Each structure stands twice: as C-alpha cells, then as structure tokens.
C-alpha cells in the first residue's frame, strides 16, 4: 500500500506575541519582541526578572470556565490552541470518526504552578489541605487528555516529553500514526507554562537564562549574537491539525501545507549540553530530509532552534553546515525565539506554525537583536528585518536537554 501523505488543515496558538495565529504572525513579520518584565510574581531575589508571558488570555473564550478551573495553565493553553486549530480545519463533531482521531501533544514540564501551590499548602496547613485536583492538574498527560475530551478523540492519545524537542517530536509521531494507517486526523504540537517560581529559579541555578538584559527585556533574546547570555523563559502553545491527504480531500478541506519529513535522534552524550560537534542534530536533519525525499539544496528556510545561549548557537550552526554542506551558505536561517523567547515544550509547535506561514506568505522571518554576529555563527540568519522571497520547503529544528533532537520539514502543498 502507498504510504499516506500527511497535510496540515488547522493551526492555533497562544504565545507572548498573540493569542491567535494571525496576530502572532503579524508581530513576527514586524520583528516585535514579546519579552517583558516578569510581573507574574515577585522576582526581587531572582537573577532573571524578565520572561515571555502570554498576555490578554481568557480561558473562557475557548472553554467552559468550570472546566478551565480544573486545568493547569499549560493545559488551558493546549485546549485554547486546539480549539483554534480545529475551528480552522472545520472539523466539527460528525466530520470525523472518533475512533480515527488522535491527540499527541508535547510538554516538557507539566503544571509547575500546581506543584508549587500544593507544596505551599502542605507546609503551611498540612497534607490534608492539598487541593483535590492537584494530581489531575499537574501531570503532563492532562494536556492531551483534556483536548481529547473536548473533541471526543478516542484514538491514540499521548504526551511526548523530550524537553525542548517535545513539540517537534509530538508532530513527528503524530505524522507517523497517520502514515501507519492508525489515524486519519491527529491534533498535535506542544504546550508549556513554566514561568513560575521553580521554573525561573531552576533554570537560573544552571545559568541557562539571560540575566544581562533585565533593564532591556526586548533585547534579551539575541540568538547568534556575540553578546547573548542565555535564553528567555517563555510560555504558550502551538497546535496543528494533521490529516491524511485522502481524508482531507474527501471532506473538501483547505490544505495549509504538507508535513514532509521528520528526524529524531539522541546525542546520548550529556544531560543539558548538546553534542560538541552537533552530531545528533546533523543526523536528525539528514533523517528528516531522507523521509521527505528532498536534497539539502531543496530547503529554502530553516527555523533554527536558536536559543540565544552561548553553547547552543555555534553548535547548531556547525550542525547545519554538516547536514546541508555547501547549501548552508545559501539557505536563509532565523530564530524566532528572538521574539517569542523559548517556549520549551511548545517551541516545536509554535515554530511549525511560523514555518507554514513563511511558506504561505513567501516571507523569511527575522532574527531580531542580531547586532554583533558571533564569529562562530557565520551563516545568513536574516538579521533584524524579515525578507520576502520564494519559499517552498522549510526545516524546523528543536534540540532539547537530554540530547533530544527533533527536526520537522514542511513543504508547499501540491496536489
């Protein structure tokens, strides 16, 4: 049997630049930063006082208020983005077989704020005062579980937890389900809400976050720049509806793009640092190209992992050179984390939306704050202003703690 083609029919997002796809994309095109002073809690004793916070989000716009109260923030974001994506796909009840629709969503951390609140109750009032919904809210599988309940998805339902590669790996695994004939439709992407006491403190003590730009938040995330000093913790969700081409065509769906390839590897080298030669990332990029049936020179744009950490950016640059060869000097590359911050488990989903919109509008998003390029980062990162140009194929890299590497490739849909 011929392997089913996988297409995208819906997208939804909640992130520091907007609570819907088009306002988010407009901010990206304008090169705006979503990084602000962190006013969610008192940061007086924290080395990092900035974050990428979701603003003007109302859970009740997307779900029943009573149900929202039973969800941690990362789940609310996942449900909200899924509602948007399913609405765009026009997948209403009756338009799909519940047994043939699945949910695979990436998440790195789960409900940190729920853990913190519950521990506070234990220490101040005793164990009997822990809120009864603590466990059902904090565990990471409750993101996809709540989405499945919302849309009566009775097919495969799972969380993928591979740190910063979670969203990309979730999409790759969702596509594999469709290609294997296990599902017709999969709601997939990533979600995260780790801008919390523990989230910021934990990343601070391993010196992963930016601390130099507390007084200039919009300039703090600066991938590939010589003066970068760490990533900016951010939150949000990016969700796509993946569908077999046959199923989408049968119902007359509008197709946003094609999911062409997926590569997944592990460095098996270090808990937090990438392989010093980027070998796992190289293999993941090559694997994605092979599955897509594409050559390096077919890639028009790479949405880089580009975290703005001293260690990641030069190693990813090196990996791109090894994976794409001479074409690395010609391909356009950018890190939209310069604008959103690093949404951890949501990054692969959010950046897949960027990838599809770049194809739609033939627009290369910028890497903002790239004022003094690092000599070790010597490729074309579309500095500071986006550019117009023909885009048919986009590669999106997600590289996570633990050595996880997830690479997805989208291409313009041609019937």
| Residues tagged active-site | 164, 305, 342
The distance of Cα 357 from the centroid of its chain, to the nearest Å, equals: 14
Q: Please state whether beta strands 387-388 and 393-400 pair in parallel, antiparallel, or not at all (unpaired).
A: unpaired
Nearest to residue 230, comparing CAs of 76, 48, 85? 48
**How far are the Cα atoms of 63, 93, 155, 219 from residue 150, in angstroms, in the given order?**
9, 10, 13, 39
Q: How many CB atoms lie within 10 A of CB 61?
A: 11
Nearest to residue 78, comparing CAs of 110, 123, 117, 40? 110
Residue positions counted in the chain = 415
**How far are the Cα atoms of 83, 180, 283, 321 from residue 346, in angstroms, in the given order?**
16, 25, 22, 26
The DSSP code for 404 is E
Nearest to residue 75, comparing CAs of 41, 52, 99, 109? 109
Q: Exposed, middle or buried: residue 112 (CB in 10 Å: 0-12, 13-18, 19+)?
A: buried
Looking up tokens 């930063």, which residue turns up? 33
The token pair that represents 38 in the structure block: 């962190």
């Amino acid at each position: 049997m011929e392997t089913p083609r996988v297409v995208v029919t819906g997208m939804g997002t909640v992130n520091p630049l907007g609570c819907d796809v088009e306002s988010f994309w407009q901010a990206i095109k304008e090169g705006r930063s979503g990084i602000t002073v962190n006013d969610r809690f008192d940061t007086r004793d924290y080395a990092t006082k900035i974050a990428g916070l979701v603003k003007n989000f109302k859970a009740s716009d997307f779900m029943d208020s009573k149900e929202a109260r039973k969800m941690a923030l990362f789940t609310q974001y996942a449900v909200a983005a899924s509602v948007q994506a399913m609405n765009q796909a026009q997948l209403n009840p009756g338009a799909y077989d519940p047994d043939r629709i699945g949910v695979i969503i990436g998440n790195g951390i789960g409900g940190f704020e729920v853990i913190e609140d519950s521990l506070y109750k234990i220490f101040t009032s005793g164990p009997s005062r822990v809120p009864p919904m603590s466990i059902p809210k904090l565990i990471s599988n409750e993101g996809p579980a709540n989405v499945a309940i919302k849309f009566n998805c009775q097919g495969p339902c799972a969380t993928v937890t591979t740190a910063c590669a979670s969203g990309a790996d979730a999409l790759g695994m969702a596509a594999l389900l469709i290609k294997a004939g296990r599902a017709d439709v999969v709601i997939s992407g990533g979600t995260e809400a780790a801008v919390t006491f523990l989230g910021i403190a934990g990343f601070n003590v391993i010196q992963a976050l930016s601390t130099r730009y507390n007084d200039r938040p919009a300039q703090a995330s600066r991938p590939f720049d010589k003066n970068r000093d760490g990533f900016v913790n951010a939150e949000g969700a990016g969700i796509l509806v993946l569908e077999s081409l046959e199923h989408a065509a049968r119902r007359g769906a509008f197709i946003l793009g094609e999911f062409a390839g997926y590569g997944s590897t592990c460095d098996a080298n270090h808990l937090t640092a990438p392989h010093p030669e980027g070998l796992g990332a190289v293999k993941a990029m090559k694997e994605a190209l092979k599955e897509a049936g594409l050559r390096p020179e077919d890639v028009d744009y790479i949405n880089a992992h580009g975290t703005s950490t001293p260690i990641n950016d030069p190693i990813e640059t090196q990996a791109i050179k090894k994976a794409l060869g001479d074409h690395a000097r010609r391909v356009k590359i950018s890190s939209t984390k310069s604008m959103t911050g690093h949404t951890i488990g949501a990054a692969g989903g959010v950046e897949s939306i960027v990838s599809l919109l770049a194809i739609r509008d033939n627009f290369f998003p910028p890497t903002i704050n790239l004022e003094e390029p690092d000599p070790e980062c010597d490729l074309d990162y579309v500095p500071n202003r986006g550019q117009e140009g023909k885009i048919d194929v986009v590669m999106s890299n997600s590289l996570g703690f633990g050595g996880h590497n997830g690479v997805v490739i989208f291409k313009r849909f041609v019937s």
